Amino acid sequence: MPGLFRLGSSSMIRMGLEDNVYVGTSLVDMYCKCGRVDAARRAFNRLGDEKNIKSWSAMVAGYGMHGHGREAVNVFHEMISSGVKPNQITFVSVLASCSHAGLINEGRHWFKAMRKEFKIEPGVEHYGCIVDLLGRAGHLDEAYGLIKQMKMMPDCVVWGALLSSCKTHKNVELGEISAHKLFELDPKNCGYYVLLSNIYADAGRWKDVERMRALMKKRGLVKPPGYSLVELKGTLHCFLVGDRRHPRHEEIYKYLEELTARMMEAGYLPDTGSVLHDVDEEEKETALKVHSEKLAVAFAIISTSPGTTIRVIKNLRVCGDCHSAIKLIAKLVGREIILRDSHRFHHFRDGSCSCSDYW
Residues 6+ apart with CB under 8 A from 297: 310, 312, 326, 329, 337
Please write the tens of the pLDDT for every residue from 281-290: 444 455 667 8
Confidence label for 297 from pLDDT (cuts 50, 70 and 90): very high
Please write the tens of the pLDDT for every residue from 187-206: 999 999 999 999 999 999 99
More confident residue, 182 or 18: 182
Rounded to 5°, angle at Cα 75 from 73 and 77: 70
Residues 6+ apart with CB under 8 A from 178: 159, 160, 162, 163, 166
CA atoms 166, 167, 173, 179: torsion sign: positive
Confidence label for 345 from pLDDT (cuts 50, 70 and 90): very high
pLDDT value at 31 more than 80:
yes
The identity of residue 163, as a single letter, is: L
- What Cα–Cα distance (Å) separates residue 173 from each residue in 15, 36, 141, 218? 58, 41, 11, 24
Confidence label for 213 from pLDDT (cuts 50, 70 and 90): very high
Q: Are 158 and 131 in contact (CB under 8 A)?
A: yes
Cα 200 to Cα 193: distance, rounded to the nearest angstrom: 11
